[in-house]
Each structure stands twice: as C-alpha cells, then as structure tokens.
Amino acid sequence: MNANLERVLINETDLKKRIKEMAWEISKDYEGEELLVIGLLKGAVYFLTELTQAITVPTQIDFIKASSYGSGTVSSGKLNIQFDTSRNIAGKNVLVVDDVIDTGITLSEIKKLFDNRNAKSIKIAAMLDKKERRLVKVLPDYHGFVIPDEFVVGFGLDYDEDYRNLPYIGVLKREIYEK
Ligand code: IMP
Ligand code: MG
C-alpha cells in the first residue's frame, strides 16, 4: 500500500469484478443499440477503459474535461469546461462516466449540456458514489460502490494530480491534505 494512505478502501480484485458486473448490466440495457461512452477527464480514464472493454454492444468513446473542482478538496460549485468532445453527440445514446459522484454538480451540469446538444438518451455511470455529500438532485443510473464521506485516491482519482495510477481505491491520510 502507498505510504500516504490511511487504508485501502476497495482492492483491485473487488473493483475490477464490480466494474465487469456494471458492464454486463449496461450491455443488457443497451441491447440492439449503439453506445457513446463519454469520460470526464482525467479521473474517469481508468474506469472508462476497464468498463468499455467489457461492454458487448457497439461502443465508441470520447472525452470532455469539465470540473467543479480546483486543486484542493472542496468543490467550487461551478462547472468549468476546459475542453470538449471531439464529435457531435446529437442522436446518440450517451453514457457519461466519472470516477466519483460527490456533490453531483459536475454531472448534473454535463447532463444539461448534452441534453441541449440533443443526445438521444443520456445516462450516468459512476465508479463511486458519495451519496451523503449530494447537493443537487442527480442519481447515477449505474454505480460501482457507495462510499462514505472520505477523501479517496487511486484508479483515476487524484490529490493534486498524484495517485491516479494506483490500481485500487485508498483513503488518503488527513495529514497529507491538511498540511
Ligand atoms: P461533484 O460531484 O461535482 O462534486 O464533483 C465530482 C468530482 O470531484 C469528481 O469527478 C472528482 O474529480 C472530484 N472528487 C470528489 N471527491 C473526490 C475524492 O474523494 N477524491 C478525489 N477527487 C474527488
Ligand atoms: Mg473528476
């Protein structure tokens, strides 16, 4: 385990197993349809690659960089689009994927944005769900794990750009982000 972690919250085996289950559920729900999976950079990258490899319906991927966060741990509450998807999403079945749904601000804004661009359908898949932190009403259509209100890193999740490449989810020691 990384020395700056207090503990491992979800190990690699459990995480990958659960993501495969999510992919099977998604494949079943979209049977006979085509899917456009859009990942929120950079946090969703590890989850998106793991998930889409196990999806069995015809699937394309794209990315958008938009967040309601700066470099710290507290939401600024405002969506900021740094760069956009590469193709037109009109008429597509869009599945927005993100690492964690926290206040829900980012994903609810993204949903509105894609709705304005006339996606055929829009659903949300979040690897982690911090249910008790929700500030706006948005429910992920698919979620991996409901987690407590703790700051976690790994499998795409960062603290100031570090720890994204850890193959598991861990709770960061308080002394690391409170110093
Ligand atoms: P929100 O749902 O709009 O508040 O923001 C969700 C985003 O905040 C996620 O995509 C992450 O980038 C970031 N975030 C929220 N909680 C954590 C955490 O525990 N660790 C790392 N990033 C987090
Ligand atoms: Mg993110």
Residue 2 within any structural domain of the chain: no
- Residue 100 CA to ligand 1 center (angstroms) comes to 6
**What is the pLDDT confidence band of residue 71, given thresholds at 50, 70 and 90?**
very low
Please identify which of the residues 98, 102, 129, 158 carries the catalytic annotation: 102
CATH code of 131's domain: 3.40.50.2020
Residue 29 within any structural domain of the chain: yes
- Residue 34 CA to ligand 2 center (angstroms) comes to 25
Q: pTM of the predicted model, to two decimals?
A: 0.93
Query: Does 162 qualify as catalytic in the annotation?
Result: no
pLDDT at 70: 47
Structural contact between residues 52 and 174, judged by C-beta atoms closer than 8 angstroms? no
Most ligand 1 atoms within 8 A of CB, residue of 157, 159, 162, 174 to mutate: 157
Give the chain's domain count.
1
User: Does 58 score more than 80 pLDDT?
Assistant: yes
Residues 151-177 have pLDDT tens digits of 999 999 999 999 999 999 999 999 998
d(CA 151, CA 158): 10
What is the residue range of 109's domain? 11-72+80-150
Q: CA 132 → CA 13, 100, 137, distances in Å?
A: 26, 13, 12
Residue 163 within any structural domain of the chain: no
User: Does 113 score more than 60 pLDDT?
Assistant: yes
Residue 62 within any structural domain of the chain: yes
CA nearest neighbour of 11 among 130, 166, 164: 166
pLDDT at 77: 53
Which secondary-structure segment (H or E) carries 93?
Answer: strand 93-101
Residue 155 within any structural domain of the chain: no
